[in-house]
């Protein structure tokens, strides 16, 4: 019994880590020669919360400068746009109480009560687009889903981590 409880606890912790991590995807124009880009400028950064644009800018700036790109006020080789949005995601929580745990748990049924409640958790998506400035064509896109938690004090770290993951393999090698 104790060993089963330890296995369940390990599985729950692993699931919690997966759920807490933002899901990040990237895509790019495979014919783009990324080494030609040395400078970049901001087009726009918008997010539902007025505190977010500066945090998003800082996280992206940190990643791009670490990759050797230099920010310029206007007319960079590439132009960056970022958009963040949040919505409330419903999450169902079921609690069992009483002897036997409710719905036939471990062979004892009918003696407990199951209560299900709906909890709304804020989730957010961050989209970062990089355009070739002269042609105005999209050359790279990163998307981070579930980049926010239900704890505001953790949100800044989650965005930094999501942007770090987004730019992990940036710039792509291209297929020229």
* The most confident of 35-49, 113-127, 142-156, by mean pLDDT: 35-49
Q: What is the token pair recorded at 36?
A: 């030609």
Which residue, 82, 44, 47, is CA-closest to 63?
Answer: 82
What is the model's pTM?
0.69
pLDDT in tens, 16-47: 444 445 799 999 999 999 999 999 999 999 98
Q: CA neighbours within 13 Å on the CB side: how many for 161? A: 14
Query: For position 158, what pLDDT does the model report?
Result: 87
| CATH number at 22-166 | 3.30.160.670
Domain boundaries, the chain: 22-166
Confidence of residue 157 (pLDDT cuts 50, 70, 90): confident
Report the pLDDT value the prediction gives residue 32, as an integer from 0 to 100. 95
Mean pLDDT to the nearest integer, 123-132? 89
Contact residues for 139 (Cβ-Cβ < 8 A; gap 6+): 28, 29, 32, 34, 78, 130, 131, 132
Query: 40-94 pLDDT, tens per residue?
Result: 999 999 987 788 899 999 999 999 999 999 999 999 999 999 998 766 666 666 6
């Amino acid at each position: 019994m104790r060993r089963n409880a330890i296995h369940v606890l390990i599985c729950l912790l692993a699931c919690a880590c997966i759920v807490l991590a933002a899901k990040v995807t990237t895509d790019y124009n495979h014919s783009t020669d990324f080494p030609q880009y040395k400078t970049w400028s901001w087009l726009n950064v918008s997010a539902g919360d007025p505190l977010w644009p500066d945090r998003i800018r800082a996280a992206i700036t940190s990643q791009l400068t670490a990759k050797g790109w230099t920010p310029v006020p206007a007319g960079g080789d590439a132009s960056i746009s970022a958009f963040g949005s949040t919505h409330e995601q419903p999450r169902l929580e079921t609690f069992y109480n009483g002897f036997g745990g409710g719905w036939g748990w471990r062979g004892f049924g009918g003696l407990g009560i199951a209560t299900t409640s709906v909890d709304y958790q804020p989730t957010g998506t961050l989209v970062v687009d990089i355009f070739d400035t002269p042609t105005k064509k999209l050359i790279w896109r990163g998307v981070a889903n579930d980049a926010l938690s239900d704890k505001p004090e953790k949100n800044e770290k989650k965005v930094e981590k999501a942007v770090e993951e987004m730019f992990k393999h940036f710039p792509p090698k291209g297929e020229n």
